[in-house]
Chains A and B, each alone.
Chain A
Amino acid sequence: MRRFLLGNTRLLIALAIVIALTFMSPVFLTKDNLLNVLRQMALLVILSIGMTMAIITGGIDLSIGSVLALSSCLAASFLKRGDSMWPGVMVAFAIGGAAGLLNGIMIAKVKLPPFIATYGMGWITRGIAYVYMGGNIIYGFRPQFRFLGAGYLMGIPMPIIVMACVFTAFYIFLHRTVYGRNIYAVGCNEAATRLSGVRTDRVIIMVYTLNGLLVALAGLLYIARLNAAEPVIGESFPLEAIAATLVGGTPFTGGEGGITGTLFGAFILTLLSNGMNLLGVSSLWQSAVLGSVIVLAILAEEVSKLLTGAGPRLKRISPSP
């Protein structure tokens, strides 16, 4: 029992928050509010899946917010033309995929540190988005497209359905396929994996490209819901996705963790901000509270690992003889 409790810190934290909020706010545990939480977290989950993969390989992607801005701004301008939404959708994926591919090439081939490669990519794409939009906002999309962000299917909001599909697909991808296995292997020990005959550079390029495609998808959901696109969107997304990943138990050292944890991480973060809104906590205080929770959640995880004796990560810190 003790082992179970210590091994599932994240579940416990989520549960504790749910119980506390149920007592504190009468509207919290209602079907409408819970659907609301799930809908709010959809975007974060989709972005965090890509971030989690990058972090499993031992990397990071700081460009996601800006790539999202660029891909959705360009998509938006295509969405306003013609009589189909598909060209716009294709443009979003093309931009996201291309930015991801470039990230991957910079990291795997040019050997730039992921932090620097994606940080640079973030500035570049954000800049292009500003230039392209020239200070304008594009708004008012066709209903067919807006359905993606604001519609319902059998009573369930579309973003939740998209999130569920993406999560399932990537869960299978990471845990059932050769590619997923190689992603973990690269993060665990890139040199040994390369010596096993795996083309590790391709694995890394694939991860960042997939991440770019996920970013494009998230961007489409976002502007469909907002019914507008502008170049400033998504500034805070990289940090939020990193937070969800870390709270979800995927460490920066790579090679372990996974998107199930990330799903919980995103859930915890979204629950918290939802709860604080319901309780009327000033938005000025919310980010301070969120930050504390992120740090505490990770601390709790480390402590529980120490207690269960499964804490090899701390060993790395001790000096070698």
Chain B
Amino acid sequence: MNPVSGTVMNPESRVVLAMRGITKDFPGVRALDNVDFDLREGEVHVLIGENGAGKSTLIKVLCGAYRPDAGEILIDGHRVNISDPKRAEALGISVIHQEFNLLPHRDVAQNIFLGREPVRGPMGMIDFGKMYDDSKRILDSINVDIPVRTLVRDLSVAQKQMVELAKALSFNARIFIMDEPTATLTSREIERLFKTIASLVSSGKSVIYISHRMDEIHQIGHRVTVLRDGQYIGTLDVKEASLETLISMMVGRNIGAGEIRRRNVVKRGREALKVSGLTRHGRFYDINLSIHEGEVVGLAGLVGSGRTEVARAIFGIDPYDSGEVFVFGERLPKGSPAHSVERGLGFLPEDRKDLGLALGMSVKDNMVQASLRSVSNFGFIDFRRERDVAQGFVKQLRIATPSIYRLVRFLSGGTQQKVVLSKWLATKARILIFDEPTRGIDVGAKAEIYSLIDELVKQGVAILMISSELPEILGISDRIYVMREGRITGEFHRDAATRERIISYAMGKGREYDAAAGKG
């Protein structure tokens, strides 16, 4: 049942990696605040925490993508300076990425030895024999049976993971970082992955394992460390870590969400958006939700739970297989953002640089892009009206730009977000979908966006908000849907929603939580 902790891990074994007092600041946010972490030889150390707790930042510091602002990293007791990813690699640290850095049209061995092909002879010809033999040997050492001449594009996700692992091994990696490796695997593949991890650690390698799945922690972990809001909360032996303990460590005891609670509770009006039975195979299944005028509905869940996919399908960016979307009682044709905009929908995408803005165009051009019809006569743009609209929003939203003719590329994240917001305010949208509206935005701009949401709700706009920040979603939403693995697992009125409850439902432990809390 426990393939890894079944193998012997001496609790006194050597510490191979120690991170002390790691601090990392980003503009407006402290992503890591004095975090400690250590890893022993032959150990699987699980790292958990809510979205935005600082797990990824910690990993990026470790693999050289970010430089910490304070703190030190020790490997085998020696202080090291991980200045860039190459250095991390040389130190034996290897990240097994979720999105694979493999060349699909090359075979397994060529990928494992990419850029470091063994050569022979004076001409520097590639020694293919040695390359294939070595690859086979490495794969055998972790009990993986993939023919080394298979093209990577013909491999399953799980097999690609194994190739990544083998590649890391060929670099003589000792510390493996796996970020949600089981997210897209079937249960059989997970079993096989766990066996591979077991053989890795039994040969003295160490693994940092990031996961959202509570059951996995007990299956393969030795110790577990919890981060919250960029802070180190604690490290436990897996045997002592009960579900309740971990969840309470993850969400904390004092809930400081009061400051962003929406003040105006507005009477809700007509049903603005109704989604029934929406399904897209492999992404989300049987999604039912409804939003009324003057209501903010939150969509909570972990990264990868399918929230963004649902929002994109509703707005018409992606197609869906079955189900229906109704806007004010009328059926919305699928797969057409143009229809959605005409019916009064607006979409503030998570990825504003790729989907929200034309970075090479001006503030003004971006603001009126969705409402060109209202600032033009017979197709001819009325420059004066256009300028007035843009200047109006710059004033109203206090947009920090030297001029409305400034290219959006040169503005800060928060300012860019306000430009996207203006675009939808200009269309007088009645239903707005916000996907992570405050991600990467400083505190001041966040507060302004909250008060704007407030203002919109007062005007009877219906808002669907996806957010990974629990205080935000709890503070602003009137109702909250929780998604897990493509399905809605719970719906709560704001009074019934707590951090613990939402996180339990998001992790698939909602019933257990309710039972424990005596709510049935």
Contact = CB atoms under 8 A, between A and B. Distances in A.
A135 interface: no
B376 A185 contact: no
A81 interface: no
B194 to A, nearest CB: 32
A195 B358 contact: no
Interface residues of B, number: 30
Given A179-B379, A192-B356, A196-B370, A185 B361 contact: yes
Nearest to B317: A195
B340 interface: yes
B114 interface: no
A30 interface: no
B377 to A, nearest CB: 10
A255 B337 contact: no
Nearest to B376: A178
Contacts, number: 77
A134 interface: no
Interface in A163-193: 176-179, 181-182, 184-185, 188-189, 191-193
Given A192-B355, A255-B358, A198 B338 contact: yes
A199 B341 CA distance: 11
B357 interface: yes
Contact of A189 (B317, B337, B354): B354
Contact of B380 (A176, A184, A192, A198): A176
Given A178-B379, A185-B365, A194 B337 contact: yes
A196 to B, nearest CB: 4
Contacts of A189: 354, 357-360
A116 to B, nearest CB: 20
B27 to A, nearest CB: 15
B303 interface: no
Contact of A177 (B340, B369, B381): B381
A195 B379 contact: no
A17 B434 CA distance: 55
Contacts of A179: 379
Contacts of B427: 197
A203 to B, nearest CB: 11
A256 interface: yes
Given A188-B361, A192-B356, A181 B381 contact: yes
Contact of A195 (B337, B376, B380): B337
B221 interface: no
A199 B338 contact: yes
Interface string B272-294: 00000000000000000000000
Contacts of B342: 197
B338 A256 contact: no
A309 to B, nearest CB: 11
B360 A255 contact: yes
A177 B378 CA distance: 9
Interface in B367-408: 369-370, 372-373, 376, 379-381
A82 interface: no
Contact of A256 (B65, B315, B360): B360
A300 to B, nearest CB: 21
B55 interface: no
Interface string B341-360: 11000010100001111111
A195 B360 contact: no
A191 B355 contact: yes
Contacts of B354: 189, 191-192
Given A182-B372, A185-B369, A321-B65, A193 B358 contact: yes
Given A194-B337, A255-B360, A256-B360, A177 B365 contact: no
B304 to A, nearest CB: 21
Interface in A14-54: none
Interface in B319-344: 337-338, 340-342
B423 interface: yes
A181 B355 contact: no
Contacts of B65: 321
Given A178-B372, A185-B361, A189-B359, A196 B341 contact: yes
Nearest to A182: B372
A195 B372 contact: no
A198 B372 CA distance: 10
Contacts of B381: 176-178, 181
B261 interface: no
B349 A184 contact: no
Interface string B303-320: 000000000000101000
Q: Nearest 4 A-B pairs (CB), nearest first?
A: A197-B341, A188-B358, A196-B370, A189-B358
Given A185-B365, A198-B369, A255-B361, 17 more contacts: A177-B379, A178-B381, A184-B361, A185-B361, A188-B361, A191-B355, A192-B356, A193-B369, A195-B317, A195-B337, A196-B341, A197-B340, A197-B341, A197-B370, A198-B338, A198-B370, A255-B360
27 contacts: A178-B373, A178-B379, A181-B365, A181-B369, A182-B372, A184-B365, A185-B361, A185-B365, A188-B360, A188-B361, A189-B357, A189-B360, A191-B355, A192-B358, A193-B358, A194-B337, A195-B347, A195-B355, A196-B341, A196-B423, A197-B341, A197-B342, A197-B370, A198-B370, A255-B360, A256-B360, A312-B409
Interface of A: 176-179, 181-182, 184-185, 188-189, 191-199, 255-256, 312, 321
